[in-house]
Amino acid sequence: MNRRFPDALKKMHEIEIDYYHHDIDFEPYEEFNSKDDTAHWIKAWTGNESLDGREFLIFGQDGSGGYVAFWLTKETDDLLEQPIVFFGSEGELGVVSENFGDYVWLFAHGIGPYDAVAFPSLESKTIDKLSKFAKELFPSHEDTPKQIIQKARARYPGFEKMIQELCR
């Protein structure tokens, strides 16, 4: 899989949003974490020295240091079709969305990665700039946050268990 930061992700992260004002705990990156940084992180997060984290491309974090990443699990060269997952600093873990289009719609509804995992029933609130972006790039992905999160969990029900089994 190519490690080039997708244009759509760059554009999303360039949108000037006061995440704090919108109660979204998110810090966007301008590039993926390096392979070495990702390997170091997954070993520390799981306590498993045999892991290298190559199936994760980290592209953002929350204020406590929890990471948001593409999980490279589908057989596709289109990175935006890969699921997005969250690894919290306090052990929170889960699939955020089935793909990037759904992820963008979560943000358009004011739901960040941590919230999607820890508070999946959180009330949504539209963020105009992100809603406009979502409608332009991913109109066919428009759903409620609850539908997006439920769809992702149904598609990848074993993610949390798989990761927990890697922990030492």
Q: Which three-class secondary structure string do you get for 24-85?
A: CCCEECCCCCCHHHHHHHHHHHHCCCCCCCCCEEEEEECCCCCEEEEECCCCCCCHHHCCEE
Nearest to 154 by CA among 95, 93, 82: 95
pLDDT band at 3 (very low <50, low <70, confident <90, very high): confident
Residue 89 has pLDDT above 70, yes or no: yes
CA dihedral angle for residue 30, residue 32, residue 33, residue 39, rounded to 10 degrees: 170
Percent of the chain with pLDDT over 70: 99
